[in-house]
Structure 1
């Protein structure tokens, strides 16, 4: 799991923007990528599917700029919060 989900800087980090591009999820979290973190370590997992195709899972494993804020990605994704009452409930606890 990517540690960026619980980082205070998730909404403007260039590495999160890079990971989103690799996952083909453009514009879901990042509004303005202006922060470049110190020493991020990315983990790339190669997955082989039953359809004889490869896919890659990209995650940030470590980062010196990490500042913990639980659920920070939920606050950055207002569309997700509006469409799911479960996520809104989970954020409160």
Structure 2
């Protein structure tokens, strides 16, 4: 699971912007200005005979500052 969803920096984070792109999701911001320290991204690949799925998760980051539900801009 991506820890970004509970991080105070999610809306401005350059690495989360990359993860959004990989998941083909709309961006929380088009111009992220925050570059986190030592992010660790885990890429999980699963496949069967007809489908391959790739999941990108940020699992560790020295810049992580806990703020539950930070991704949900309507819930502060």
* TM-score when normalising by structure 2: 0.88
The structure carrying a bigger helix percent of its residues is 1
Separation in 2 of the partners of 1:30 and 1:57? 21
Highest Rg: 1 or 2? 1
- Taking only aligned residues, the RMSD between alpha carbons, in angstroms, comes to 1.7
The structure carrying a bigger strand percent of its residues is 2
Task: Give the superposition deviation at 1:48.
Answer: 1.3
Structure 2, unpaired ranges of 5+: none
Equivalenced residue count is 76
The structure 2 residue matched to 1:55, chosen from 53, 60, 68, is 53
Residue 14 of structure 1 contacts residue 36 of structure 1 at CA under 8 Å; is this kept in 2? Answer: yes
1:23-68 CA-partner distances (Å, limit 9, x unpaired): 00132x235301110000000010214x612120000000000000
Structure 1, unpaired ranges of 5+: 76-80, 82-90
Higher relative contact order (CA 8 A, sep 6+): 2
* TM-score when normalising by structure 1: 0.73
